[in-house]
């Protein structure tokens, strides 16, 4: 369960970094407070990823964090940035399959029993 907490923290940091960089990129002036936020948050993405990787290995860490980061970033785009008109039905299916893949990885016996 502790591994899951590390994973969730890494995903929240990564999705936050994606969101902050998207806000920064939309600004007319690139030298704003958002630039400093991007500079401060970006290294945290790699640090949290490294911490998770050291606990569960790169294969599991990458598959779970990257999949959840994709789903989380899409959710932020849809709900906070109002981009619902930019996603097609087939893409929603792909997001659902990504979530299913994460659930299969997280709740597999190897992940839940072997890596405490």
pLDDT > 90 in the chain, percent: 34
Phi–psi pair at 108, nearest 5 degrees = -75, 150
- Tokens 């959840």, located at residue: 68
Find out whether 41 and 19 touch, Cβ atoms under 8 Å. no
Find out whether 49 and 65 touch, Cβ atoms under 8 Å. yes
Residue 29, phi-psi category: left (phi > 0), alpha (psi -120 to 50), beta (remainder): beta
The whole-angstrom separation of Cα 76 and Cα 80 is 5
**pLDDT score of 45:** 95
Average pLDDT rounded to a whole number, residues 19-31: 89
At 87, is the pLDDT very low, low, confident or very high (cuts 50, 70, 90)?
confident
Q: How many residues does the chain have?
A: 116
The whole-angstrom separation of Cα 111 and Cα 78 is 31
């Amino acid at each position: 369960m502790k591994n899951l907490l590390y994973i969730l923290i890494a995903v929240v940091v990564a999705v936050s970094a994606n969101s902050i960089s998207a806000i920064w990129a939309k600004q007319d002036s690139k030298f704003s407070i958002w630039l400093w936020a991007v500079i401060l948050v970006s290294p945290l993405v790699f640090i949290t990823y490294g911490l998770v990787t050291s606990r569960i290995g790169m294969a599991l860490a990458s598959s779970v964090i990257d999949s959840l980061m994709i789903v989380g970033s899409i959710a932020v785009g849809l709900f906070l940035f109002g981009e619902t008109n930019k996603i097609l039905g087939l893409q929603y299916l792909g997001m659902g399959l990504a979530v299913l893949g994460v659930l299969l990885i997280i709740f597999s016996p190897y992940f839940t029993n072997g890596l405490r």
